[in-house]
Structure 1
Amino acid sequence: MAPEKIIIDTDPGVDDILALLLALSASKDEIELLLISLTFGNIDVESCLKNAVSLFHVLEKELAWRKANGRPLGYEALRNHKPVVAVGASQPLDEQLLMADYFHGVDGLGGVHQKAPHFTPEELFRHLFHSPSADSTKIPPDAPTPLPNETLFTPSSSPAHLEILSQLKSNPPHIVTIVAVGPLTNLALAAAHDPETFLLAKEVVIMSGTIDMEGNITPMAEFNAYADAVAASRVFALTSPSPKSTLPPCKSLKAYPENLSSKLNLTIFPLDITTMHLLNEAEFKAITGDLQANGSPLAQWAEVFIYATFRKMESLYAAAAGESAKRVQDVDISLHDPLCVWYMITKHASEWKAVKGRDIRVDATGQWTRGMYVVDRRTRKKPTLEEMQAAGEEEVEGDCDAWLHPLMGNRVNQMVESPYRDTFGGEMLKRIFL
């Protein structure tokens, strides 16, 4: 069976790094990671690049340590195919920039570059990448450092949205899946630049939004959806038989062409499902403790930012309980982003359940509801096109914004059930660290 060819669009914070490690540690028959496209999100895009390059630096050390100690190398997907890394959007399309450095720290990884500087490479090769803030990172032309031949990634000088389109063009149609676990700005830029090429994606899988749970950045919104609600709404519009029916106002990008050849196959993983897939602190200690003691670079590096996240969650639990000074036992981290990659590895399992074709729209302009995933909770029956034509109607009476019109609105697949709720955390750790 051929591996799933994927692009991961990401803003590498803690769970993004775990998602990347899970993809790279897959077998060569499970995943072929073509591209890692970077976007602002939890942190600024330059810090995202630093974290991504550091990830590969640590993996080089880890593979050398495993070989020297007679351990299985693992990481077949990485050793079989060197992914491209491209730098993308530094800010949202039309909105105020928001980052979540209050949670994961200013570097997105709990201060790992200061706490464990020996795991951060001296050379980040910024001169080999397109950079939205090139003036601040430009390296003098007389002092470029070439990328070592043994480095595990290929830098791209193209902006991420163009690199996404390039990967879609260079592979057969409907073969490449885009897994987006940050704000959707890069995807919106790619779709605006060349919508027909963007629609060559087999599927777009995103960690974004919330349907029936409270938000994690506002009462109504999840962070990725809020960080660039215009971009999310534009990507969602491509799932509609009539994209203009849900396209938001956007000063920076033009509308899509009137007639597109196909609709986007979009699957969302909202907080409703991702929050329930957990990594437990005791489980993390049990699997990685001896590896840290025995010198595993990956286990030692990950320990810094994973434990920083456990401590952050502990403080949130304690504050919620009014016990700020008391140690909270048995802390968990939700595996939001890794779950999307796990779906790509295990999507053959019939127990994955999705509600298909839901009309889910993203509020891009609301003062209090920006980034909210809006669904129609009314019990009115949506007429078929044949019923509307027989009645000689173009609109459904009393239906504002065409929620009940059979040719209007979005068609989004919402993942609602996984077979791995109780086992995913441990399985992920074993794949990444053992």
Structure 2
Amino acid sequence: MAKKIIIDTDPGIDDILALLLALSATPEEVEVLLISLTFGNIEVRNCLRNVVSMFHILEREMLWRRDNGRPEGFGALRASKPIVAVGAEDPLEDQKMLADYFHGKDGLGGIHASHPHLTPMQAWEHLFDPTPGDDGIQAVQTGGAIDEHLFTPSKKPAHEEILRALRENEPDTVTLVAVGPLTNLALAAAQDPETFLRVKEVVVMGGTVNEPGNVTPMGEFNAYADAVAAARVFALTSPNPQTTLPPTTSVRLPPYPKTLSRPLTLRLFPLDITLRHNLSRGAFRKTVSPLVDAGSPLAEWVSAFMAHTFRTLERLHPGQVGDDAELSLHDPVCVWYALTAEDSHWAASDTSPEDIRIETQGQWTRGMCVVDRRSRHPVEGDEESSSDHGLWLSRRAGNRILRMHSSPAETTFGQIILQKLFG
């Protein structure tokens, strides 16, 4: 039976590669129920333009492949149109931070200006604008032309569409892959925690434990961009979520109920594992350049924003030169796990599940994954004491995070994703 997944994302270069990887699967492998969008790498409306552009390119690509006697591919997409929903524009608290310094202002290296023929006209934007009395996706499905597209636009906020998908499917059948800031997830969990806990597991790209951060010395971008949201989602893994909820002055989200039916299963893919999955410029060029010359719309589109990516890597990192420049495939690794979770080579750390908490208030440590490295005896109580400030030692408190440590394809993942996308 096909795995059912939701992808919560902020596209973004590696986010687009992650989406393409999911949609390139067969219908027997996966059904993408929903693509929910959040701010993050760029503003959320630019994320939406990038996703719509992706579907526009895929329509052209499958036509080109058919006309040239090639397998169309993207069977999961042809079998089932995902819903696309627009979500959070801002973090729950703190000043918004974007990663446009890496991804470009539009998220794809300026492609909409440099290659306007690859971007659809913006007549589609109204399909996502809320309308009073509108129940969401049904109203836009009757519009005639929209049926020609490969996706179904929603006028509902993304967090409501996440809850809708979880209500409409049996418990423990939907995996939620979150590869941006966790704002949409935090909003969904606050609105209806029990429905949110129907999810099979949440797969999170975020944080770093033993590696340096990528936006501050301690902070990975997704955890840093909305640390409060990450802390709230992580808290649902605790036997007592109140013990790890972040201190906050926000009145926007309520605390969780004192009793919940079960804890959340959360698999964390921090920089510690994602930095070991890379795609080199040389491997990319060898595979994709002949397809650009042959007229592939997808190859032309991906080549345009990947050229920007490799130039940026050269500028930011010593040693990233020429064909040896490598893009870390942070977000695609999480989708690859969702597609191949039964592979026994996927493994969590020996210490999992771990009490990993997100720092939300530190001047220099916002977004840091905090773990207790002390050698201390655990205790049974659930009352804070002078010897256990923060309830780090209590068996009935703290988070329970499955920190992923190894994968089936650390050295070959770049080739795998090229094969999946381009055949």
Alignment of 1:4-153 (within 5 A): 4-130=3-129, 147-153=145-151
Root-mean-square deviation (Å): 1.8
C-alpha distance in 2, partners of 1:98/1:199?
A: 29
Alignment of 1:9-408 (within 5 A): 9-130=8-129, 147-250=145-248, 251=250, 252-317=252-317, 320=318, 328-355=322-349, 356-383=352-379, 385=380, 394=383, 398-408=387-397
SS at match of 1:357: coil
C-alpha distance in 1, partners of 2:4/2:122?
A: 29
SS at match of 2:147: coil
1:433 is displaced (CA, Å) by 1.1
SS at match of 2:102: helix
SS at match of 2:98: coil
Q: Which amino acid aligns with 1:211?
A: V
Structure 1 pair 337–213 and aligned structure 2 pair: CA distance change class (3 A): same
Q: Which amino acid aligns with 1:343?
A: Y
1:123 is displaced (CA, Å) by 3.1
Structure 1 pair 259–341 and aligned structure 2 pair: CA distance change class (3 A): same
Q: Which amino acid aligns with 2:280?
A: N
Structure 1: unaligned runs, 5 residues or longer: 135-143
Query: What is the number of residues matched between the two proteins?
Result: 410
SS at match of 1:401: coil
Structure 1 pair 119–112 and aligned structure 2 pair: CA distance change class (3 A): same
SS at match of 1:358: coil
C-alpha distance in 2, partners of 1:198/1:240?
A: 15
C-alpha distance in 2, partners of 1:223/1:8?
A: 18
SS at match of 2:390: helix
Structure 2: unaligned runs, 5 residues or longer: 133-141
Q: Which amino acid aligns with 1:375?
A: V
C-alpha distance in 1, partners of 2:10/2:300?
A: 22
Q: Which amino acid aligns with 1:332?
A: E
Q: Which amino acid aligns with 1:418?
A: S
C-alpha distance in 2, partners of 1:148/1:35?
A: 17
1:199 and 1:264 in contact (8 A); partners too: yes
Q: Which amino acid aligns with 1:162?
A: E
Q: Which amino acid aligns with 2:284?
A: F
Task: Report runs of 4+ in structure 1 exceeding 6 Å deviation.
Answer: none
TM, length-normalised to structure 1 = 0.91
1:33 and 1:81 in contact (8 A); partners too: yes
For residues 80-105 of structure 1, the C-alpha deviation after alignment (integer angstroms, 9 at most, x for no partner) is: 11000000000000111110111111
C-alpha distance in 1, partners of 2:173/2:266?
A: 14
C-alpha distance in 2, partners of 1:427/1:327?
A: 23
C-alpha distance in 2, partners of 1:280/1:264?
A: 36
1:88 and 1:131 in contact (8 A); partners too: no
1:148 is displaced (CA, Å) by 3.1
1:124 is displaced (CA, Å) by 4.8
1:125 and 1:147 in contact (8 A); partners too: no
2:41 and 2:107 in contact (8 A); partners too: yes
C-alpha distance in 1, partners of 2:384/2:390?
A: 10
1:147 is displaced (CA, Å) by 4.0
Q: Which amino acid aligns with 1:221?
A: G
C-alpha distance in 1, partners of 2:72/2:194?
A: 40
Comparing 248-257 with 262-271, which one deviates more in the overlay?
A: 248-257
